[in-house]
Amino acid sequence: MLRTGVRWSAVLVVALVALTGCDLVDRGTDPDAAGSVDDGGTPLDGYPPPHSGIVPAVGSAATLDLACWNIENFPGTPATPALVADLITSLDLDLIIVEEIASDAAFDELIARLPEHDAVLSTHQYTPTSYQKIGLIYRTSIATIGTPELLFGDDSYGFPRPLFRVPVTVGALTFDMIGVHFKAGGAPEDALRRAQAARTLDRYLRAQLDGGGEPEVVVLGDYNERTNTVDGREVLAPLLAADRYRFRDDAAIAAGGYTYPSSRAAIDHILTTAGFDGGGDAIIPPLDRQFPRYASLVSDHLPVVLSIPMP
């Protein structure tokens, strides 16, 4: 059964750890120090509201703002859940596919710190005690979700982490969000595994689109592959069919954008099917330049954001 909502007992344990051992950001304040309280002086919902304005917003009330974000073995530090909540709020994001969730309890804390959002999380595990899960965080006031589904769970060669599909409805728009986290690594075998994943994903999408299924699909996450190199385009070739798909971050990459700061590579992408209408190019917020100690406190990846007119 897929997890949804918050397990409060786990959140309380993580909160106690965070309060006793935070590695704080350069703002000079505890992430929990500010925020609204109730009449009795207690932070609302167990946590103060997340900070806003710590980085420039990319979303707005007039747009539906979708993102993917690999949050490197989340949480990197006890302070990371609060910092990620601050960044999601500041960026003003509505729907976020996240990867590398390595602690269910820390993820529960993150969602508890986002009073306008809820989430669903993959059940996939490498072993009974280790995992890097994919999840979807969504703004409850505008989005409703259907039953999540793991895709290709029996193909560990192509998909070491099964794809995570969630039907989403926002107003009159219904579409599938599919979170991806392809095989990492620079060895030839790693590229072969990503190529198999691309072929399998293409067959799945073609069967759905040609068979009368949901035509509007967004496939987003960590592809661990570039779309602007000869080798990368060969690996992802089935997904480059212009009559079927569009990588929405191509323009940002062509302008020098990257999602993996240490190598200046763009390996996280948002792909939409031809039936997914509206919106223009995705952007890559430069959080590594906007937020102090981003790499050590938050992630080694940057998010990618696609905004479309609010349905």
| 36 within some domain | no
Q: Which residues contact 134 (CB under 8 A, 6 or more apart)?
A: 97, 98, 99, 101, 121, 122, 124, 161, 163, 164, 179, 180, 181, 221
Asked, for residue 35, whether it belongs to a domain, the answer is: no
CB neighbour list of residue 113: distance below 8 Å, 6 or more residues apart = 47, 50, 81, 82, 85
Instruction: Answer whether residue 16 is part of any domain.
Output: yes
* Residue 44: count of CB within 10 angstroms of its CB: 12
> Is the preceding peptide bond at 81 cis, omega within 30 degrees of 0?
no
Residue 128 falls inside a structural domain: yes
Domain hosting 207: range is 3-29+48-309
DSSP 43: B
Q: What is the DSSP letter of 114?
A: -
Q: How many domains does the chain have?
A: 1
Is residue 178, in this structure, part of any structural domain at all? yes
Q: pLDDT tens digits, residue range 165-217?
A: 999 999 999 999 999 999 999 999 999 999 999 999 999 999 999 999 999 99
Residue 30 phi, psi dihedral angles, 5° rounding: -65, 135
Q: How far is CA 302 from the centre of its chain?
A: 10
Q: Which residues contact 300 (CB under 8 A, 6 or more apart)?
A: 70, 72, 260, 261, 262
DSSP class of residue 240 equals G
Q: Is residue 41 part of a domain?
A: no
Beta bridge partners of 137: 96, 119
CATH number of the domain that 262 lies in?
3.60.10.10
Tell me if 34 is assigned to some domain: no
Question: What is the chain's pLDDT, residue by residue, as a tens digit (311 residues)?
Answer: 344 443 333 333 333 333 333 333 333 335 554 433 333 444 546 899 999 999 999 999 999 999 999 999 999 999 999 999 999 999 999 999 999 999 999 999 999 999 999 999 999 999 999 999 999 999 999 999 999 999 999 999 999 999 999 999 999 999 999 999 999 999 999 999 999 999 999 999 999 999 999 999 999 999 999 999 999 999 999 999 999 999 999 999 999 999 999 999 999 999 999 999 777 999 999 999 999 999 999 999 999 999 999 99
Instruction: Please check whether residue 105 lies inside any domain of the structure.
Output: yes
> pTM, whole model, 2 decimals?
0.87
